Amino acid sequence: MIRNLFKAFRLATSDYLHEWQMSVCFILGLAAVLGPLLVLFGLKFGLVGAMLDQLIEDAGNREIRPVGSGHYDHAWLESVRAQPEVAFLVPRTRSIAATIELASEQSSRIVPVELIASASGDPLLAPDAPLPEGLTRVVVSSRTAEKLGVKPGDVLDGSLARRYRSQQERVHLDLTVAAIAPEQAFSRDGAFVSVQLLEALEDFRDGRAVPALGWRGMQADAERSYPGFRLYARSIQDVAGLRDAFADVGVEVHTRAAEIELVQRMDRNLSVIYWVIAVIGMVGVSLSLGASLWANVDRKRKQLSVLRLVGFRTRDIVWFPMVQALYTAVLGWALAVAIYYVTAWVINIMMATQVEAGQQICRLLEIHYVVALALTCGAAVIAAALAGMRSARIEPAEGLREL
């Protein structure tokens, strides 16, 4: 049995090579349909994928900020933080109080910077980098670091002023640069600081005492509330839900839910369009491949009859066109992939200026190639097996008389 299968395999290969012009035509015919289909899917996957990647990678797209000022106490903020859709939440103080002037020994400049409340898990900061901590350690924006000429470990002089009891007061405090924030985290002059430091600076400006820093003033309020917060959803899919939840409790928030929804809708619409084209394309590939293989088997009925005459069994005869169909499928697929590669390369070069560095408009994953190969081989084998079985069932005499 194995001997005859091997024999049929060898004969099918010899015939395929002998009729190389016909074989090339079959391969080209398959690649001509499959290649553009791969390009189409590559575009759909690359284009929408790039947009989705951008949405996912940019933490700003998951950010939720309240519009205007409110009064949010610790308990309320804790209840929001406990929601499973919330990845990170930090309260902020009044914007006007969240500034400081920084100076360094490395630069003669005094740089007024915005202060951003931060804490562990802040999506804007590198996950493995040192965090702002307590009243002395800060993470400065890259622009500020450049202006002040500082690097991690350097000490800054922070200063702020207030008018207290009709007198102008200015205080200084040493701040250690724990890290430099990534450029995309904050593009202006700024520093990420702990909530504790922000509260201290706000207290000083409001005329309250900050005993930890030796700043005098009035007694601080027992219960503190915050005018706003900075919140990040766990994923872009959670943004719309959180927005609606805040709206339900009367908190109007600013999100990028509309942009996210637009891309998601575009993905859905493009997917529908793609799948319609893909299904039509696959049916086309299957019919084209099936028809050519069927016709080929019919054409070879005479030769298959000779094999029947010399004693090849039914399954050996079926194996013959199946081997040839597999050759066509694999080589056609390989040529289609080559067509895809060249086309995708041209498209990506042409569109390189339209997308961010490293992003590709036309791309496929390895699994896509595997699925395309499996579908092509499956369609080819089914068509060839049906044609082969039909041929194998015909009386050998019928085919031989045509020789």
Partner 1 sequence: MADRSVVIRSTRSSWSNCPDAGHILNDVSIETAAAGSRHSAIYLLHDVVKNREAKGVAFRLRVPSLRIDRGEKIALIGESGSGKSTLLDMLAFILQPSAAGAFRFRPEEAADSLDLDACWQDDNLNLLGDMRKRHIGYVMQTGGLLPYLSVYDNINLSRSVLGLRRDGTVEHLAEMLGIANQLKKRPDALSTGERQRVAIGRALAHRPAIVVADEPTASLDPFAAQNVMSLFLGLADEFNSTVILASHAWHHIKELGLRRLSHRTTHTSGSKLTETVVSG
Residues that bind partner 1 (CB under 8 A): 3-4, 7, 11, 14-15, 17-19, 302-303, 305-306, 308-314, 393, 395-397, 400-401, 403
Q: Which among 297, 313, 306 is positioned nearest to 2, based on CA atoms?
A: 313
User: Cβ distance 228 to 39 under 8 Å?
Assistant: no
- Least distance from partner 1 to the Cβ atom of residue 22, Å: 11
| Rounded CA separation 339/347 (Å) | 12
Return the number of the residue (273 or 309) whose C-beta is nearest partner 1: 309
Give 351's DSSP letter.
Answer: T
Nearer to partner 1, 5 or 126 (CB): 5
Kindly state the smallest distance separating residue 395's Cβ from partner 1, in Å: 6
Nearer to partner 1, 190 or 396 (CB): 396
- Burial class, 54, CB count within 10 angstroms (exposed 0-12 / middle 13-18 / buried 19+): middle
Burial (CB count <10 Å: 0-12, 13-18, 19+), residue 266: middle
Cβ at position 293, least distance to partner 1 in Å: 18
For the CB of residue 390, give the shortest distance to partner 1 in the complex, in Å: 14
Q: Considering beta carbons, is residue 332 or 396 the nearer one to partner 1?
A: 396
34/337 Cα distance (integer angstroms): 8
CB-nearer residue toward partner 1: 4 or 264: 4
Q: How far is the CB of 17 from partner 1 (least distance, A)?
A: 7
Phi and psi at residue 228, to the nearest 5°? -165, -175
With beta carbons less than 8 A apart as the criterion, state whether 131 and 138 touch.
Answer: no
Is 250 or 311 the residue whose CB approaches partner 1 more closely? Answer: 311
Q: How far is the CB of 14 from partner 1 (least distance, A)?
A: 5
Q: Strand 155-164 to strand 99-104: parallel, antiparallel, or no bridges (unpaired)?
A: antiparallel
